[in-house]
């Protein structure tokens, strides 16, 4: 069997059958190409049609989300939940609220989630959802009415043993709170395990807020150590200024790095003295302001409206904003300026061409589905605590997170050694994530 041709034929069919879904096509292509050596060693996955089945979501739900704005005007958004794969556990993955959201983006994220969740070693399947609702500039009451309307429909499709949504871009503790309140009211049941990222007063887990950012730095630290390097004394650029960026900055700084830049969708801040993280937390988490306000407090720092944050020289780049934020040219720029490692806090922030640039230049690369799995892993720990009706301390959760990130590195690296050149964590993490799901799918028959 020519596995390369087999995979190329599947990619061609996928592109034909999912026209215009560029994000989904790119994500699927990246994974499928890297599976070739795994299929060569495991022909049973071909006989059982695992690849053909894994690229097709088990279920896609699309729905209307009507709500009334503060002026009494009726607004309508599109709602989505893609339940991609439940072979190893209930569908699990975040909800994204952003004007760019469409079916292609939710399918790409849901597909990535299958492999990411498998890598955590915990029993969670892959799913993703969201809406093209734009939270920017909305009042708290508008956010609440939107979340309630969104959950009025979503509630019938989810449950603690079926599908467990959480946050993503545009969805944090506030939104999860409003959605949980509505779910509880509709179901007349206090099922804490139906959503993760909840507040600490009603079933949330200590350490969940920090988990994606901390987990990213734990993973990159493992990768650096494995190559005789560390964060100590390194200059770091972090894109974004949300939850992932903030806590990646905190942990990298704790490990001795200097984080000099971060961004939002309008522009980026460069502070050569190292970012004032307490100020960023206040601006973003409390006052919900734009990052440009930073320079009002620190006039010595620079704000670049619309500039490219990847032009700032750094040793380590941690893209924590959104997909496709590092293209080929930005990757070239990073390498030219001496960047030795890239760790993805966001989901697929590097384009396929950018990843080729890292490969060519032997830049250490921690792909998102391995490096940012700490968030969803800690969501799974939240589900465990909810099932037990007990809660662990922050230290307990953090110790488990650290261990999980280490294990993800070890298993991805092991597959990189077995199936590739020993360095390529894209191939390593894709195959490590795939093998468990594929075994579970084969065991459960053609369903
Ligand atoms: N949205 C996050 C991710 O991309 C977290 C999902 C979750 O906690 O379920 O993995």
Nearest to 413 by CA among 421, 422, 405: 422
> For position 391, what pLDDT does the model report?
97
Those residues with Cβ within 8 angstroms of residue 415's Cβ, 6 or more apart along the chain or in another chain: 427, 428, 429, 431, 432, 435
Same-domain pairing of 132 and 49: no
CA of 166 to the centre of ligand 1 (A): 6
Residues 375-423: tens digit of each pLDDT: 999 999 999 999 999 999 999 999 999 999 999 999 999 999 999 999 9
Residue 128 annotated to the active site: yes
Same-domain pairing of 90 and 225: no
- CATH number of the domain encompassing residue 170: 3.40.50.10860
> For position 295, what pLDDT does the model report?
97
Same-domain pairing of 128 and 227: no
Q: Which of 310, 337, 371 is the last residue of a domain?
A: 371
Same-domain pairing of 68 and 154: yes
Same-domain pairing of 113 and 184: yes
Distance (Å, rounded) from C-alpha 332 to C-alpha 346? 19
> For position 340, what pLDDT does the model report?
98
Residues 354-375: tens digit of each pLDDT: 999 999 999 999 999 999 999 9
Residues 415-445: tens digit of each pLDDT: 999 999 999 999 999 999 999 999 999 999 9
Residues annotated as binding site for NAD(+)? 212, 243
> For position 41, what pLDDT does the model report?
96
Number of residues written out for the chain:
447
Q: Which atom of ligand 1 is nearest to the CA of 376?
A: 8
pLDDT, the chain, mean: 97
Query: Is 21 contained in some domain?
Result: yes
Query: Is 444 contained in some domain?
Result: no
> For position 1, what pLDDT does the model report?
83
Query: Is 384 contained in some domain?
Result: no
Distance (Å, rounded) from C-alpha 365 to C-alpha 341? 6
Q: Is 369 in the pocket of ligand 1 (CB under 6 A)?
A: no
Query: Is 74 contained in some domain?
Result: yes
Same-domain pairing of 357 and 301: yes
Please compute the mean of the pLDDT values over residues 32-49 and round it to a whole number: 97
Domain that holds residue 12: 1-54
Please compute the mean of the pLDDT values over residues 106-120 and round it to a whole number: 98
Residues 187-211: tens digit of each pLDDT: 999 999 999 999 999 999 999 999 9
Sheet of strand 59-68, all strands in order from the earlier edge strand to the far edge:
59-68, 74-85, 126-131, 91-97, 163-167
Same-domain pairing of 116 and 227: no
Same-domain pairing of 249 and 116: no
Q: Which atom of ligand 1 is nearest to the CA of 372?
A: 10
Catalytic residue among 107, 128, 234, 400: 128
CA of 59 to the centre of ligand 1 (A): 19
Q: Is 158 in the pocket of ligand 1 (CB under 6 A)?
A: no
Q: Which atom of ligand 1 is nearest to the CA of 117?
A: 10
Query: Is 431 contained in some domain?
Result: no
Residue nearest to atom 9 of ligand 1 (CA): 93
Q: Is 166 in the pocket of ligand 1 (CB under 6 A)?
A: yes
- CATH number of the domain encompassing residue 355: 3.40.50.720
pLDDT at residue 150 is higher than 90: yes
Distance (Å, rounded) from C-alpha 118 to C-alpha 376? 10
Query: Is 376 contained in some domain?
Result: no
Q: Which of 320, 341, 371 is the last residue of a domain?
A: 371
Q: Which of 354, 371, 388 is the last residue of a domain?
A: 371
Under the banding of pLDDT at 50, 70 and 90, the label for residue 291 is very high
Contact of 404 with 120, CB cutoff 8 Å: yes
Residues annotated as binding site? 92, 113, 116, 167, 212, 243, 379
Same-domain pairing of 218 and 360: yes
Q: Is 126 in the pocket of ligand 1 (CB under 6 A)?
A: no
Residues 255-270: tens digit of each pLDDT: 999 999 999 999 999 9
Q: Is 77 in the pocket of ligand 1 (CB under 6 A)?
A: no
Query: Is 225 contained in some domain?
Result: yes
Same-domain pairing of 172 and 82: yes
CA of 117 to the centre of ligand 1 (A): 9
Residues 49-91: tens digit of each pLDDT: 999 999 999 999 999 999 999 999 999 999 999 999 999 999 9
pLDDT at residue 220 is higher than 90: yes
Same-domain pairing of 161 and 293: no
Query: Considering its fold, how many domains does the chain have in total?
Result: 3
Same-domain pairing of 284 and 314: yes
Q: Is 169 in the pocket of ligand 1 (CB under 6 A)?
A: no
Query: Is 249 contained in some domain?
Result: yes
Percent of the chain with pLDDT over 90: 99
> For position 303, what pLDDT does the model report?
98
Q: Which atom of ligand 1 is nearest to the CA of 373?
A: 10
């Amino acid at each position: 069997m020519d596995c390369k041709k087999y995979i190329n034929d599947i990619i061609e069919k996928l592109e034909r059958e999912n026209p215009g879904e560029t994000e989904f096509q790119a994500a699927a292509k990246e994974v499928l190409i890297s599976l070739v050596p795994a299929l060569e060693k495991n022909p049973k996955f071909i006989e059982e049609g695992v690849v053909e089945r894994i690229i097709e979501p088990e279920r896609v739900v699309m729905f209307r989300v009507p709500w009334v704005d503060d002026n009494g005007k009726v607004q309508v958004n599109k709602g989505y939940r893609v339940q991609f794969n439940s072979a190893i556990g209930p569908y699990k993955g975040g909800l994204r609220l952003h004007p760019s959201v469409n079916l292609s983006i939710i399918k790409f994220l849901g597909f990535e989630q299958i492999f990411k969740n498998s890598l955590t070693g915990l029993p969670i399947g892959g799913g993703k959802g969201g809406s093209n609702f734009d939270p920017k500039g909305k009042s708290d009451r508008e956010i609440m009415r939107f979340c309630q309307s969104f959950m009025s429909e979503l509630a019938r499709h989810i449950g603690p043993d079926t599908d467990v949504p959480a946050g993503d871009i545009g969805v944090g503790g506030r939104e999860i709170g409003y959605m949980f309140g509505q779910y509880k009211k509709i179901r007349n049941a206090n099922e804490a395990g139906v959503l993760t990222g909840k507040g600490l007063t009603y079933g949330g887990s200590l350490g969940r807020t920090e988990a994606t950012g901390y987990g990213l730095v734990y993973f990159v630290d493992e990768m650096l150590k494995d190559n005789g390097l560390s964060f100590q004394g390194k200059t770091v650029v972090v894109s974004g200024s949300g939850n992932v960026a903030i806590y990646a900055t905190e942990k990298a700084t704790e490990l001795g790095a200097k984080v000099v830049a971060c961004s939002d969708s309008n522009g980026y801040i460069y502070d050569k003295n190292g970012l004032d993280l307490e100020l960023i937390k206040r601006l973003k988490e409390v006052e919900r302001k734009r990052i440009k306000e930073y320079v009002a407090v620190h006039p010595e720092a620079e704000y670049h409206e619309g500039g490219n944050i990847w032009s700032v020289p750094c040793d380590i780049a941690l893209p924590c904003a959104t997909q496709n934020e590092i293209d080929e040219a930005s990757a070239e720029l990073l390498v030219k300026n001496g960047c030795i490692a890239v760790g993805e806090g966001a989901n697929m922030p590097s384009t396929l061409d950018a990843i080729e640039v890292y490969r060519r230049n032997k830049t250490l690369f921690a792909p998102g589905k391995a490096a940012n799995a700490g968030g969803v892993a800690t969501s799974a720990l939240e589900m465990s605590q909810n099932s037990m009706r007990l809660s662990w301390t922050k230290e307990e959760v953090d110790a488990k997170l650290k261990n999980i990130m280490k294990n993800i590195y070890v298993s991805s690296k092991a597959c990189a050694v077995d199936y590739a050149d020993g360095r390529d964590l894209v191939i390593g993490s894709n195959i490590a994530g795939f093998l468990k799901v594929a075994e579970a799918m084969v065991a459960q028959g053609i369903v």
